[in-house]
Amino acid sequence: MKHCPHCRRVFDDENLFCLNDGTQLEDFPQSGANSIPTQYFPPLQREAASQKSFGKGIYWVCGALVLVIGILSFVIYALVSNPVSAGRSNDEKDKKAAENRSVPAPLKNETPESANKPELPPLTPQTVRELIERWEKAQDGRNFNAYKSCYSPSFFGIKRTKSSGETRMNYARWLDDRRKMLPNTIDVGVRNLEITFADETATARFIQQFQSVNYSDEGQKILKIKMFDEGAKIVYEEMKYSY
């Protein structure tokens, strides 16, 4: 056995220096009256205790690192994912709100507009004849407003004369042309009237005799007529030929 002369700790013979302060060990003295009490520390037990403490220290350090890493990961995930999910949630809410605004809720006891709209009277040969008579008299009487009331705003016409050939005109242009011509009109005649029907449109074919102050002609005319809320109206007019 050996001991340290300073701290008086006893060590096995295999140790050369004190594990406490590094002092060179001396032979352990025999027991006597002047001997100082010593405390024996077997190296193996001390090393085992030291290794055990070191192992616990490493365990706690690793555990603390894992805990810190886990907390940091959770914080980063929350910062990254929450704005995206919140943005998506808000987008879905806005989309649903827009859909709800774009599709109005049905009203109770609401009926379609067409259900309240009265049915138009049927278009008959008599109705067509009456319209053509008003059309003829309006020109003979040089009454432009009465003449205008015979036409629908959707009207389209083709004018043919002996001198100017063919002219295609819409509603506004047709009335503008007739407004200039009507004050000079003397007589408009209709003969050989024929009326046919196709679906909701009537077609009237006749020979028109036209005479004004400085012009006269004769030729076949075609009128297409439909029924509207205001009554029967001319939607198409064409002078097939003029001589």
pLDDT (tens digit per residue) in 67-80: 888 888 888 887 77
Q: Report pLDDT digits (tens) over 123-180.
A: 999 999 999 999 999 999 999 999 999 999 999 999 988 776 789 999 999 999 999 9
pLDDT of residue 160: 87
Domains identified in the chain, total number: 1
Residue 158 lies in a domain: yes
Residue 211 lies in a domain: yes
Residue 1 lies in a domain: no
Please choose, from the candidates 225, 242, 46, 72, the residue with its C-alpha nearest in 3D space to the C-alpha of residue 150. Answer: 225
Domain, as residue range, for 212: 125-239
CATH number at residue 171: 3.10.450.50
What's the mean pLDDT when you consider all of the chain? Answer: 80
Determine the 3-state secondary structure of 221 from DSSP: strand
Alpha carbons 235 and 41: distance in angstroms, whole number: 125
Residue 45 lies in a domain: no
In this structure, is the dihedral angle defined by the CA atoms of residues 178, 181, 183 and 184, taken in order, positive or negative? negative
Residue 9 lies in a domain: no
Please choose, from the candidates 79, 75, 1, the residue with its C-alpha nearest in 3D space to the C-alpha of residue 43. Answer: 1
Residue 30 lies in a domain: no
- Residue of higher predicted confidence among 9 and 233: 233
Residue 71 lies in a domain: no
- Report phi then psi at 198, rounded to 5: -140, 110
Q: What angle do CA 172, 178, 180 make, to 5 degrees?
A: 110
Residue 221 lies in a domain: yes
